[in-house]
Amino acid sequence: MKNLTIRNLSKTYFDPYAGTNVTAVHDVSLDVRQGEFVSIVGPSGCGKTTILNMIAGFIPHTGGEILLDGRPVKGPGADRGVVFQSFALFPWRTVLENVAFGPKMRGVGKAEREKIAYEYLALAKLTEAAGRYPAELSGGMQQRVGVVRALANEPDVLLMDEPFASVDAQTRMTLQEELTRIWQEKRPTVIFITHDVGEAVFLGNRVVALSKGRVLEEIAIDLPRPRSWDALNDDPRFKELSGRVLQLVRSA
Amino acid sequence: MMQHRLSSALWFCAPFAVLIVLWAVLIPYFNFNPRLFPLASSVIQAGIEGILDGTLIHHIGASLLRVAVGTSLALLVAIPLGIAMGVSPVVSAFLTPLFRFFSVLAGIAWIPIATLWFGYGFGAITFVIFNAVFFIVTYNTLLGVSTIPLHVRNAAASLGAGRWAMLTEVLLPGALPNIVTGIRTGLGFAWRGLIAAEMIATNVGLGYMLFVARDFYRTEVIVLGMIVIGVLWLLLDRLLLAPLERATIERWGMVQRA
Give the integer Cα–Cα distance in Å for B44 and B122.
29
Give the integer Cα–Cα distance in Å for A177 and B97.
54
> What is the per-residue pLDDT across A94-119, written as a single tens digit (0 to 9) for each?
999 999 999 999 999 999 999 999 99
> What is the per-residue pLDDT across A13-40, written as a single tens digit (0 to 9) for each?
888 888 899 899 999 999 999 999 999 9
Give the integer Cα–Cα distance in Å for A48 and A28.
10
Among the partner-chain residues A57, A92, A105, the one whose CB lies closest to the CB of B159 is A105
Domains of chain A plus CATH, in order, are 4-79+156-251 (3.40.50.300), 89-154 (no CATH)
Give the integer Cα–Cα distance in Å for B93 and B74.
21
Strand order in the sheet with A189-194: A80-83, A157-161, A189-194, A37-41, A206-211, A214-220
Q: Does residue A149 sit at the B interface (CB-CB below 8 Å)?
A: yes
List the single residue in B with minimal CA-CA distance to A99.
B159
Architecture of the structural domain at B59-250? Orthogonal Bundle (1.10)
* A117, A163, A186, B44, B119 from A199: Cα distances, Å: 27, 11, 20, 75, 73
pLDDT at B1: 61
Among the partner-chain residues A88, A105, A133, the one whose CB lies closest to the CB of B151 is A88
Higher pLDDT, B183 or B255: B183
Rounded (to 5) percent helix, strand, coil in chain A: 40, 25, 35
> Please, which pLDDT band fits residue A121 given cuts at 50, 70 and 90?
very high
Q: At what angle do helices B122-146 and B111-118 cross, to 10 degrees?
A: 120
Of A131, A105, A109, whose CA–CA distance to A118 is shortest? A131
Contacts 24+ apart (CB under 8 A), B148-156: B148/B174, B148/B175, B149/A86, B149/A88, B151/A84, B151/A86, B151/A88, B152/A88, B152/A89, B152/A90, B154/A56, B154/A58, B154/A76, B154/A82, B154/A84, B154/A88, B155/A82, B155/A84, B155/A88, B155/A89, B155/A90, B156/A90, B156/A101
Which A residues, 57 through 76, put their C-beta within 8 Å of a C-beta on chain B?
Answer: 57-58, 75-76
Residue B84 phi/psi, 5° resolution?
-60, -40
Chain A: give the shortest CA distance to residue B170, in Å: 8
Give the integer Cα–Cα distance in Å for A206 and A75.
27
Q: Could you give the residue ranges of the DSSP H alpha helices within A153-235?
A: 169-186, 197-203, 229-232
List the single residue in A with minimal CA-CA distance to B152.
A88
Residue A6, Cβ neighbours under 10 Å: how many? 23
Residue B110 has pLDDT above 80, yes or no: yes
Q: Could you give the residue ranges of the DSSP H alpha helices within A60-109?
A: 95-99, 101-105
Residue A102 in 3-state DSSP? Answer: helix
Residue A76, Cβ neighbours under 10 Å: how many? 21
State which of A13-27, A60-74, B96-110 shows the largest mean pLDDT.
A60-74
Which B residues, 224 through 253, put their C-beta within 8 Å of a C-beta on chain A?
Answer: 248-249, 251-253
> Please, which pLDDT band fits residue B39 given cuts at 50, 70 and 90?
confident
| CA dihedral sign, ordered A75, A76, A79, A85 | positive
- Average pLDDT of the segment spanning B50-60: 93
Residue A107, Cβ neighbours under 10 Å: how many? 8
* A4, A187, A233 from A1: Cα distances, Å: 10, 13, 35
Contact A135 B252 (CB under 8 A): yes
Residue B58, Cβ neighbours under 10 Å: how many? 14
Taking CA A25 as the corner, what is the angle to CA A23 and CA A179, rounded to the nearest 5 degrees?
A: 145
pLDDT at B58: 94
The answer to whether A214 touches A26, Cβ cutoff 8 Å, is yes
List the single residue in B with minimal CA-CA distance to A55.
B158
* A237, B103, B137 from B97: Cα distances, Å: 65, 10, 16
Of B143, B105, B108, B126, whose CA–CA distance to B205 is shortest? B126
Q: What one-letter code names the amino acid at A39?
A: S
Residue B8 has pLDDT above 90, yes or no: no
Share of chain A above pLDDT 90, in %: 88
Share of chain B above pLDDT 90, in %: 53
pLDDT at B4: 80
- Average pLDDT of the segment spanning B63-81: 95
List the single residue in B with minimal CA-CA distance to A90.
B152
pLDDT at B255: 59
- Average pLDDT of the segment spanning A171-186: 94
Q: Does residue A236 sit at the B interface (CB-CB below 8 Å)?
A: no
> What is the per-residue pLDDT across B121-180, written as a single tens digit (0 to 9) for each?
899 999 999 998 999 999 999 999 999 999 999 999 999 999 999 999 999 999 998 898
Higher pLDDT, A194 or B193: A194
> Please, which pLDDT band fits residue B257 given cuts at 50, 70 and 90?
very low
Q: Does residue A163 sit at the B interface (CB-CB below 8 Å)?
A: no
Residue B249 has pLDDT above 70, yes or no: yes
